[in-house]
């Protein structure tokens, strides 16, 4: 099994003679010996903070891909005004959790003040190249492999989690016609490889988006594919049950402009990594979505606040938090109240929620929450015209599935705190099977409730997915 590890970048930097800096200098700070250069300093900071995504063949993050490589001077220079802008406005590197959580969640992305300032200085000094001849002898750039190198399956497909044991795909590509703008079909994906005819315990799943218009895809088993999320890979001994079933349900959400030339085809595929007979599953991963569906956001309101509470029924290990709202979502805070403790503890504070980046805040160490613990969830929404993402500041907005509706969900992933000691290959407890099937059926039934556009009317008869 090809597990994910956190990437690390190592660059060794030799002393750059002053003369080399001066001779390479152009731009505003041309005469300054201190102007940072690409090969001198900037590449170092860019590699550490940006190259995880901004590299040749960068990872597809739920439908978006970084538009340039920072490992190439010419590209970095062309993009440098925007690099400076995005560093200043804090939108790059992308990460939502407040600095107070530094060290808490996996794959966190905080840039140090020094690196940030250095890159801004590099741009302002004219994005100087420095001494290119020293590369690569000056810089030994090691981008460690498995985390962000896709694995090539024998059929030619690429997977970030490793070569899947089973794969699923649409029977035919989904055609999202010109007229559609906000379509949420429920699609049964078919087996294209591996064995789904018997119950399987899975350790990892991955959705490979197959079209540019995806807003998100949600599946009981495949997880959630939204911008900013990679594959879902659990630690050894953690997994989820995939009951025998010829189909895997995927609730897709296609959001795009309607009109001439906007039609697209989607070929999303999914894959799983299975445990082998004899492996032991101690922790069966489940997720739940506490939400408040009673929100009514007045037109133009720049700071509508809504809350809800959620009580933990039995001792659990909290694995990850994945809050979700739409374009008007502005900030979210999840506070924890432990039984008998007066003071609340902030589990997660996202001060600047960005719909385009829906992160999965996964703990380094799963967090034990005792029965009776309570989550206090607070969301803030900006329904004013100041919010540039707002589709309609004049609308009164309620909870709903369309992108133009809102949500205030606080999905979290957890397991029972007690190790289960389930041996793969042994009979599966009936209660676990029943529960897995119930959840899958829930996703399968979403079609009736969540179809927001009559796409057959808009696009003509659809091939039954
Ligand atoms: C987790 C992956 C990731 C990391 C890390 C990351 N970026 Fe990005 N970046 C992206 C993606 C994806 C896009 C394209 C976003 C889109 O199309 O909506 C992007 C877009 C950009 C853009 C273009 C923005 C625009 O306004 O058009 C700039 C500039 C940028 N990134 C700079 C940086 C810099 C500088 C760093 C490091 C300090 C960085 N990024 C780190 C993924 C990343």
Answer whether residue 63 is part of any domain. Answer: yes
Answer whether residue 163 is part of any domain. Answer: yes
Answer whether residue 298 is part of any domain. Answer: yes
**Pair (305, 268) in one structural domain:** no
- Residue in 294, 291, 299 with CA at minimum distance from that of residue 408: 291
Summarised one tens digit per residue, pLDDT across range 183-197 is 777 788 889 989 999
Answer whether residue 2 is part of any domain. Answer: no
- Pocket test of ligand 1: the residue of 67, 81, 105, 355 to mutate, having most ligand atoms within 8 Å of its CB, is 67
Answer whether residue 170 is part of any domain. Answer: yes
Number of separate domains in the chain:
3
Ligand 1 atom nearest 119 alpha carbon: 35
**Pair (179, 81) in one structural domain:** no
Cα(70) to centroid(ligand 1), Å: 10
* Binding-site residues, ligand 1, Cβ < 6 A: 49-50, 52-54, 61, 64-67, 79, 82-83, 86-87, 92-94, 109, 111, 356
**Pair (17, 142) in one structural domain:** yes
Summarised one tens digit per residue, pLDDT across range 85-127 is 999 999 999 899 999 999 999 888 899 999 999 999 999 999 9
Note whether 309 and 372 are within 8 A (CB).
no
Residue with tokens 């991955």: 206
247: domain CATH number is 2.60.120
Summarised one tens digit per residue, pLDDT across range 251-303 is 777 777 788 888 888 888 889 999 999 999 999 998 888 989 999 999 999 99
Answer whether residue 204 is part of any domain. Answer: yes
Which domain covers residue 242, as residue numbers? 151-282+424-459
Note whether 253 and 396 are within 8 A (CB).
no
**Best mean pLDDT range from 160-169, 237-246, 340-349, 430-439:** 340-349
Answer whether residue 464 is part of any domain. Answer: no
**Pair (359, 375) in one structural domain:** yes
**Pair (133, 163) in one structural domain:** no
Cα(86) to centroid(ligand 1), Å: 8
Ligand 1 atom 16: residue of nearest CA: 64
**Pair (370, 451) in one structural domain:** no
**Pair (412, 429) in one structural domain:** no
Residue 360 has pLDDT above 90, yes or no: no
**Pair (139, 166) in one structural domain:** no
**Pair (50, 127) in one structural domain:** yes
Cα(165) to centroid(ligand 1), Å: 32
**Pair (238, 193) in one structural domain:** yes
Across the chain, mean pLDDT equals 82
- Pocket test of ligand 1: the residue of 75, 91, 92 to mutate, having most ligand atoms within 8 Å of its CB, is 92
341: domain CATH number is 2.60.120.230
**Pair (171, 276) in one structural domain:** yes
Mark which of 106, 132, 148 sits at the end of a domain. Answer: 148
Tokens of 250: 């995927």
Mark which of 384, 400, 416 sits at the end of a domain. Answer: 416
Task: State the Cα–Cα distance between residues 406 and 332, nearest whole angstrom.
Answer: 14
Residue 25 has pLDDT above 50, yes or no: no
Ligand 1 atom 26: residue of nearest CA: 82
Residue 437 has pLDDT above 90, yes or no: no
- Pocket test of ligand 1: the residue of 48, 62, 72, 93 to mutate, having most ligand atoms within 8 Å of its CB, is 93
Query: In the structure, what pLDDT confidence band is assigned to residue 349 with cuts at 50, 70 and 90?
Result: very high
Query: Sign of torsion, CA 121 123 125 130?
Result: positive
Compute the average pLDDT of residues 306-331.
95
Mark which of 121, 148, 175 sits at the end of a domain. Answer: 148
Q: How many CA within 13 A on the CB side of residue 161?
A: 25
Ligand 1 atom nearest 82 alpha carbon: 29
Helix/strand/coil (H, E, C) string of the chain? CCCCCCCCEECCCCCCCHHHHHHHCCCCCCCCCCCCEHHHHHHHHHHHHCCCCCCCCCCCECCECCCCCCCCHHHHHHCHHHHHHHHHCCCCCCCCCCHHHCCCECCCCCCCHHHHHHHHHHHHCCCECCCHHHCCCCCCCEECHHHHCCEECCCCCEECCCCCCEEEECCCCEEECCCCCEECCEEEEEEEECCCCCCEEEEEEEEECCCCCEEEEEECCCEEECCCCCCEECCCCEEEEECCCCEEEEEEEEECCCCCCCCEEECCEEEEEECCCCCEECEECEEECCECCCCEECCCCCCEEEEEEEECCCCEEEEEEEEECCCCEEEEEEEEECCCCCCCEEEEEECCCCCCCCCCEEEEEEEEECCCCEEEEEEEECCCCCCCCCCCCCCCEEECCCCCCECCEEEEEEEECCCCCEEECECCCHHHHHHHHHHHHHHHHHHHHHCCCCHHHHHCCCCCC
**Pair (237, 305) in one structural domain:** no
Cα(109) to centroid(ligand 1), Å: 12
Higher pLDDT, 418 or 51: 418
Ligand 1 atom nearest 52 alpha carbon: 5
Ligand 1 atom 17: residue of nearest CA: 64
**Best mean pLDDT range from 57-61, 181-185, 221-225, 368-372:** 368-372
Answer whether residue 1 is part of any domain. Answer: no
């Amino acid at each position: 099994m090809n597990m994910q590890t956190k990437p690390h970048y190592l660059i060794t930097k030799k002393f750059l003679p002053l003369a080399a800096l001066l001779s390479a200098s152009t731009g505003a700070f041309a005469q300054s010996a201190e102007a940072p250069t690409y090969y001198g300093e900037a590449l170092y900071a860019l590699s550490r903070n940006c190259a995880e995504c901004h590299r040749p063949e960068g990872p597809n993050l739920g439908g978006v891909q970084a538009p340039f490589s920072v490992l190439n001077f010419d590209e970095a220079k062309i993009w440098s005004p925007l690099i400076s802008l995005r560093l200043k406005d804090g939108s790059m590197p992308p990460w939502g959790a407040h600095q107070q959580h530094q060290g808490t969640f996996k794959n966190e992305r905080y840039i140090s003040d020094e690196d940030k300032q250095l890159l801004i200085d590099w741009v302002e000094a004219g994005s100087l190249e420095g001494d290119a001849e020293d590369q690569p002898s000056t810089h030994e750039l090691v981008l460690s492999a498995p985390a962000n190198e896709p694995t090539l399956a024998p059929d030619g497909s690429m997977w970030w989690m490793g070569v899947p044991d089973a794969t699923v795909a649409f029977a035919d590509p989904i055609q999202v016609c010109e007229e559609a703008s906000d379509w949420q079909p429920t699609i049964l994906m078919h087996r294209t490889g591996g064995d789904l005819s018997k119950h399987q315990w899975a350790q990892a799943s991955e959705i490979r988006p197959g079209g540019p218009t995806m807003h998100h895809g949600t599946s009981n088993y495949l997880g959630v594919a939204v911008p900013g999320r990679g594959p879902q890979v659990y630690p050894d001994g953690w997994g989820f049950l995939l009951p025998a079933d010829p189909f895997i349900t995927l609730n897709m959400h296609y959001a795009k402009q309607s009109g001439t030339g906007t039609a697209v085809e989607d070929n999303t595929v999914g894959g799983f990594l299975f445990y082998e007979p004899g492996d032991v599953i101690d922790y069966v991963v489940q997720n739940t979505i506490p939400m408040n569906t009673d929100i009514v956001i007045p037109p133009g309101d720049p700071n509508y606040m809504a809350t809800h509470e959620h009580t933990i029924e039995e001792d659990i290990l909290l694995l990850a938090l994945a809050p979700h709202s739409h374009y008007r979502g502005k900030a979210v805070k999840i506070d924890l109240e432990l039984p008998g403790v007066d003071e609340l503890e902030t589990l997660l504070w996202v001060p600047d929620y960005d719909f385009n980046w829906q992160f999965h805040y996964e703990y380094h160490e799963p967090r034990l929450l005792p029965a009776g613990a309570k989550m206090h969830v607070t969301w803030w929404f900006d329904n004013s015209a100041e919010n540039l993402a707002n589709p309609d500041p004049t609308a009164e907005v309620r909870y709903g599935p369309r992108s133009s509706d809102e949500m205030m969900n606080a999905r979290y992933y957890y397991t029972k705190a007690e190790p289960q000691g389930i041996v793969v290959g042994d009979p599966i407890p009936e209660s676990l099977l029943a529960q897995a099937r119930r959840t899958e059926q829930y996703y399968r039934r979403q079609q009736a409730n969540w179809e927001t556009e009559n796409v057959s009317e808009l696009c003509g008869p659809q091939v039954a997915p």
